[in-house]
Amino acid sequence: MGINLSNFLNSKSKSRKMLEFQDLNHLDGISISTVSANLYNNKRDDLVMFYFRDGANFSTVYTQSKIISENIKWNRNQKVKKIYSLIINSRNANSFTGDSGYKSMDNIADLISQKLTEKQKDDEEQPFKIKSKNIIFGCTGTIGEKYPEEKIKEKIPNLINNIRYTQNKYIWMKSALAIMTTDTYPKMAMEECKIGNDIVKIYGIAKGSGMIQPNMGTTLCYLFTDASISNEVLKKLLKKNVSNTFNAISCDSDTSTNDMIGIFSTSKVSHVKIKSISDKNLKKFDESLNKVMLNLAKRVVADGEGATKFVEIKINGCKTEIDAKKIAFSIANSPLVKTAIAGEDPNWGRIIMAIGKSGVEINQKKLSIKLGDLSVVHKGKISSQYNEKELSSYMKNSNIDISIEIQNGSKKFTVYTMDLTKEYIKINADYRS
Amino acid sequence: MGINLSNFLNSKSKSRKMLEFQDLNHLDGISISTVSANLYNNKRDDLVMFYFRDGANFSTVYTQSKIISENIKWNRNQKVKKIYSLIINSRNANSFTGDSGYKSMDNIADLISQKLTEKQKDDEEQPFKIKSKNIIFGCTGTIGEKYPEEKIKEKIPNLINNIRYTQNKYIWMKSALAIMTTDTYPKMAMEECKIGNDIVKIYGIAKGSGMIQPNMGTTLCYLFTDASISNEVLKKLLKKNVSNTFNAISCDSDTSTNDMIGIFSTSKVSHVKIKSISDKNLKKFDESLNKVMLNLAKRVVADGEGATKFVEIKINGCKTEIDAKKIAFSIANSPLVKTAIAGEDPNWGRIIMAIGKSGVEINQKKLSIKLGDLSVVHKGKISSQYNEKELSSYMKNSNIDISIEIQNGSKKFTVYTMDLTKEYIKINADYRS
């Protein structure tokens, strides 16, 4: 069941404690419905619709992989200003499915646009036509399997029938559950902040838990707000905040063909329309968004496949942030470091090895390493406070902090990862069977 | 006990079958002795001396890590034309041991030079002084532990007393055993070839089996020949042949601080002195050297920690060799690909994922993938011959061949790796305890 997050989620900030499902309630301008499209033999919901009845401003970032899934190709091709629906399915990635996979997106979007337009006619005083280009998709699951277009189309009417304009208290949790694959728990986060005189909400859901390597927004993450923020500003906010959240995590160094982060702004609550990144009203929102994203990113790591320990790796004193990031990920992705942590072995020599192989020039005589508060290496030598027994005892914690001081500049970077256990092998050796 | 190598070592070439210990016999100009310096509680030999009584031409390549062990620093500082002794110890890497670790090398080399000089006086008609700068070291084991200088010095007299000028049939095997750490079997290879009218020998020993990632010569590998080849030519030969042997393997993507490959030429047999890389006599030798090195590199992979399957990944049709290498290593280092192979799961979607994340531009419509002889993807589509049952049955083999056709040029690269199993975690979570 992943790791106890209490240590790093213990502040009073809502995003930092474990959320109860009641905490995420109605967010104006968004409707959510979920259904089982029988992709997992009817055992669970596997299809989610987010419906923005008046449209939403939006921005997205996608995987840096050179092979991208058909839904991401579809999304990229839609040059629109507003999104009316986001549809996500689990179990099938619609990746390496070629023209037929793309055509499926086209057909499903057609059907949804038709059905949502009918719904507009039923529900709205001034109904309008929702076009298929205003619909985008998230897909996650096995790569290379035929996309189950028919199964999904069959359930679109149910999905739309299930739409309620006020969310009940279960629906955010249900949406977070429906997008899971090998995750062991749903991932949600929320913050509230003021823009002008209005309190606006930022909600987010995400999924892991394999193929987690930072290269833009890893895994799926969807963020929603009732603030009023232009597409251009959303784009800048997303780019800025992804770098030290979803781009700062690694479970297994693999990057999916389907990675996607999207942010959607319904403009329902805030009276201040934000059109510039330098708007002074944006500061608190920016901070809150970062909290939500970091919280979700940490949850993805903490639920990384087979994880028993949550590991924070802080690199300080580098010449450039790129150097700090290289060292941090070299440690975070080293199977030898990760297995030592799994084995609760304070084998810090492997950290030395991982620093060395990062390729960053190091002055060994300035290098210091701490595990938690325990000094291990001080200025290139084994610390005078080095105590193997204390270290061994520290390694039994479920949260391990590794701090590295390079003393070669002022730039830093922090990466979040987990240990590498037999359970990871078990999960991934048996995934399809 | 690692993997059955019979499939790829089944030719009549001596380097391709499993060597019997008798196969490596006397190689003129080299003496070998081994001893236990009590580094493993006297359970096994852990210290080896190679003694070249008349000196040897030589060349070495070292780890690309930015943190290098003290023995490598020592070796690099000795600017000499001939080596008289190579000393290797296991259990302790002498890495991150600072000035004290370096001073240990200095002290041990002093003692050896004194004792070998005494031996010269006893044994030789024209004795000469062997200087400490003509001695180099290989070290492997835990990083960051104090180097056991006293324990090693204590055994130098025994090591030198054990020297015999004609090797008995066990001694190569014993040397390969003494340098092992987590290896499960010793690694030796040999070839013979003609230079002019003389048959010369090339012998090699190597060790794995963790921290195996290609960045020059990974792991320890020592090569010996009785041919007469200049230092300059040895350097060029080593550089050329390391690229498609030791730089083409990966077990766990980690690079050691101690990696070292050395080649030593005693000039005892060959009447042709080779001073130029373009010498026509060198062709056969070059080929034979490559066979010995590839054989040892494959043995290192096949004995990779926890390995149950040997995996060959061939990338064809790239624009550049660098592109082919990037794709090959992206697949070879993907934990998801490696666990799928461990689980005998033909989950080729993960191969697609790993190709994508390599960063190399791919035309998906030209991409083809084979597992063994079975076509999986043909020109961007699931192959018409795709048969899940046949594929599943293929995955049960202990040798898995993955062939990728990119169809974007004529360059290629082959990488050798193994699967990722629970046993790897077990070995590395419990290494020190």
Q: Using CA of residue B403, residue B408, residue B410, residue B411, what is the dihedral sign?
A: negative
Nearest chain B residue (CA) to A338: B429
B127 or A305, which is more confident: B127
Q: Which chain B residues are Cβ-neighbours of A215 within 8 angstroms?
A: 357
Contact B353 A211 (CB under 8 A): yes
Token pair of A44, please?
A: 């669970």
Output the CA torsion B300→B304→B309→B311 (10° steps).
-60
> What pTM was computed for the model?
0.80
pLDDT tens digits along A364-403: 899 999 999 999 999 998 899 999 999 999 999 999 999 9
* Cβ contact, residue pair B339, A428, below 8 Å: yes
By the 8 A CB rule, do A346 and A371 touch? Answer: yes
CA distance A398 to A3: 7
Q: Over the stretch B398-432, which tens digit does the pLDDT of each residue have?
A: 999 999 999 999 999 999 998 888 887 887 776 55
**Residues of B tagged active-site:** 218
Residues of chain B with C-beta less than 8 angstroms from the C-beta of A257: 352-353, 356
Mean pLDDT of the region B377-405? 93
Contact A352 B430 (CB under 8 A): no
Asked if the Cβ–Cβ distance from B362 to A67 is below 8 Å, we say: yes
pLDDT at A54 over 50: yes
Residue of B nearest to A101 (CA): B381
Question: At residue B217, does pLDDT exceed 60?
Answer: no
**Are B381 and A93 within 8 A, CB to CB?**
no
Contact A424 B339 (CB under 8 A): yes
- A14-302 maps to which CATH number? 3.60.70.12
The angle that helices A335-342 and A349-357 make with each other, rounded to 10 degrees, is 160
pLDDT tens digits, one per residue of A77-91? 999 999 999 999 999
Rounded Cα gap, residues B404 and B359, in angstroms = 16
Q: By C-alpha distance, which of A52, A56, A49 is closest to A153?
A: A49
ipTM: 0.72
Check: CB of residue B156 under 8 Å from CB of residue B112. Answer: yes
Residue A252's pLDDT band (cuts 50, 70, 90): low
For the cut 60, the answer to whether the pLDDT of residue A218 exceeds it is: no
Alpha helices in B125-268 (DSSP H): 149-161, 171-178, 231-242
> Which of B358, B425, B430 comes nearest A421 by C-beta?
B425
Residue A22 reports pLDDT greater than 70: no
Pairing of strands A399-405, A310-318: parallel
Candidate from B47-61, B135-149, B293-307 with smallest mean pLDDT: B293-307
Whether the pLDDT of residue A152 is over 80: the answer is yes
Minimum CA–CA partner of B338 in chain A: A429
Q: Do B255 and A66 touch (CB under 8 A)?
A: no
Spell out the residues 6+ positions from residue B300 whose beta carbon is closer than 8 angstroms to its own.
B187, B206, B207, B208, B209, B212, B218, B219, B246, B249, B251
Taking contacts as CB-CB distances below 8 angstroms, the residues of chain A near B252 are: 335-336
User: A310-429: what CATH class?
Assistant: alpha beta
Residue A281 predicted with pLDDT over 90: yes
- What is the per-residue pLDDT for B285? 96
- In chain A, residues with a C-beta closer than 8 Å to the C-beta of B95 are 349, 352-353
Q: How many Å lie between the alpha carbon of A103 and the closest alpha carbon of chain B?
A: 15
Domain ranges of chain A: 14-302, 310-429
Distance of CA A267 to CAs A271, A274, A412, B278, B433, Å? 8, 10, 36, 74, 59
Q: Which of A63, A97, A140, A218 is catalytic?
A: A218
When pLDDT is cut at 50, 70 and 90, the band that residue B11 belongs to is very low
The chain A residue lying nearest B95, using CA atoms, is A349
Q: What is the DSSP letter of B168?
A: -
The pLDDT of residue B3 is above 70: no
Q: How many CB atoms lie within 10 A of CB B76?
A: 12
